[in-house]
Amino acid sequence: MKDYFNLYILSSRGGAVVNLGDEPQWIDKYRDELNSADIICLTPKNKNSGLPIVEIELGQDRKWIFYKTKIGRITTSNGIAEEKMLYNIGWRDNETFEVITVDPDGNIRLHRDANFADILSAISSKDKES
């Protein structure tokens, strides 16, 4: 699957660039950077693509959110299949979350993702148990 973005992770201690689609298990690899992140940013791999740069500033008690959602597959006339993805980036704290979704055409939306509510609830429950 072709990814159109890199994920930048920035903190006062440094940062990292995740080449989405080319780094399996990247969350484990960059866990320390993610846990200390002040800013996470989606940046188009192709600067001339017209896709937006989306930057999320994380406050003191906010934790990052990033996930992709496959919305379909298009097969071109020469038989090449291309998956279409939504890129979702945002933050959460113990009570709320906000997600910016980037559509394949570059449109962006800020919302509280209903699909994420159950995940957030499960994570919050685990955090309280620890």
Q: Flag whether pLDDT at 121 surpasses 80.
A: no
Which pLDDT band, with edges at 50, 70 and 90, does 117 fall under? low
CA distance 104 to 11: 28
93-113 pLDDT per residue, tens: 877 788 888 888 888 888 775
pLDDT of residue 130: 47
pLDDT of residue 1: 47
Radius of gyration of the CA atoms of the chain, in A: 16
CA distance 100 to 65: 10
48-95 pLDDT per residue, tens: 988 899 999 987 788 888 888 888 877 777 877 777 888 888 888 877
CA distance 46 to 50: 8
Total number of domains constituting the chain: 1
CA distance 130 to 124: 10
pLDDT of residue 18: 92
Looking at per-residue pLDDT, the higher value among 19 and 127 belongs to 19
Domain range for 25 is 5-129
Q: Flag whether pLDDT at 10 surpasses 90.
A: yes
31-46 pLDDT per residue, tens: 888 888 999 999 999 8
